[in-house]
Amino acid sequence: MKVGIVTVTYNSINVLEDFLSSIEGQDFKDLTLYVVDSGSSDETIPYLASHMPTGGKLIENGCNVGFAAGTNQGIRAALQDGCGAVLVLNNDVVFGPTLVGELIQALRDYQCDMTTPMMYFHHPHNLIWAAGGSFDQWRGYVNSHRGEGEVDEGQYSSPTRVMFAPLCCVMIRSEVFARAGLLDERFFTYAEDADFMYRCMKLNISLWFVPDSKLWHKVSSLTGALSDFMIRYCIRGRIFFLYKHLNAFVAWFWTCVHFVDFAFQFLSMKNSRRITALKFRAAWEGYLVYRRSVSSGKSEAKLADSRLPL
């Protein structure tokens, strides 16, 4: 099975050396790397031009189109080239030579649609970032990483079916995109993985966590941990997710819960007035994204179909 590895770069020069070394070292050789650049202004493009693995393809955008749209560009290219599976992969990661082969073998072993590895923080190396994940129905289907922040002591050593995994690293059979569509570009970045995995869960598309396959993630190395950018798009995406997938009353209820939390964080002096205002604006923005979608009359099915290269 030919594998297309899709990654989106944006001013990624500081992480590319480790990433490309990990790609070139793979035991599994029937793969093509698709790098989609979102208007990098650093040395990312020149570096890629001189260090791209043999057969790799670079798609350049003149501006930052966002993670969702960039990933879709790469997926379309991989499907057009006849790839039987697509590995959606961050480039702020490092991994050993067996990662791709193990994820492909797990697709066969478990007769599943998607596979995801054990993901650790880059430092310390034994601290879990995500051992798969889940959705919590009683919290408005908020997604969470299984085991995040735990030291790996073998507590997640068994392969198992999971509901969610961050799109930092997920191997996906090509047929999945015909069933579930591609990523919803209205999310831009953050929460697009929750949306995609939620749609897959509703369609009974199976995802397996493969603990013997391992990856180390330089978390938030590109967007910055708790940066204004991250806060804005996480909250924006969360609110849009609520109104997109849940009924209006439930979405409104959880929006109010978020508002109360924003106010509490401010009153307890955990957040400044500026950050609190940013959170409220981001939530309103997420709701407006939903309202614009409704007023345009575009159904999710039409949006998904329009993205597929069929």
Q: At what angle do helices 228-245 and 273-296 cross, to 10 degrees?
A: 40
pLDDT 10s digits, 254-286: 999 999 999 999 999 999 999 999 999 999 999
pLDDT 10s digits, 196-231: 999 999 999 999 999 999 999 998 655 556 789 999
| 66 and 44 share one domain | yes
Report the alpha-carbon angle 9-187-278, nearest 5. 95
What mean pLDDT is predicted for residues 66-75? 96
Q: Which domain holds residue 96?
A: 3-217
**Res 246: pLDDT:** 95
pLDDT band at 304 (very low <50, low <70, confident <90, very high): very low
| 145 and 294 share one domain | no
Give 229-293 as a DSSP string: HHHHHHHHHHHHHHHHHS-HHHHHHHHHHHHHHHHHHHHTTSS-HHHHHHHHHHHHHHHHHHHHH
| 207 and 263 share one domain | no
| 205 and 234 share one domain | no
pLDDT 10s digits, 93-102: 999 999 999 9
DSSP 127: B
**Domain termination residue (choose one: 164, 185, 217):** 217
Assess if residue 222 is contained within a domain: no
**Domain termination residue (choose one: 217, 236, 256):** 217
| 141 and 74 share one domain | yes
pLDDT 10s digits, 181-195: 999 999 988 999 999
| 134 and 34 share one domain | yes
| 182 and 50 share one domain | yes
| 48 and 22 share one domain | yes
**Domain termination residue (choose one: 217, 244, 268):** 217
| 25 and 150 share one domain | yes
Per DSSP, the chain holds a count of helices (H) and strands (E) of: 10, 12
CATH number of 105's domain: 3.90.550.60
| 48 and 71 share one domain | yes
Is 19:94 a contact under the CB 8 Å cutoff? Answer: yes
Assess if residue 155 is contained within a domain: yes
**Res 94: pLDDT:** 97
Domains held by the chain: number:
2
Residue 154 has pLDDT above 60, yes or no: yes
Global pTM reads: 0.91
Classify 113 in phi/psi space as left (phi over 0), alpha (psi -120 to 50) or beta. Answer: alpha
Question: Which tokens go with 142?
Answer: 């908020």
More confident residue, 17 or 220: 17
Give the type of residue at 162.
Answer: V
pLDDT band at 306 (very low <50, low <70, confident <90, very high): very low
Residue 75 has pLDDT above 80, yes or no: yes
Omega cis (within 30) before 53: no
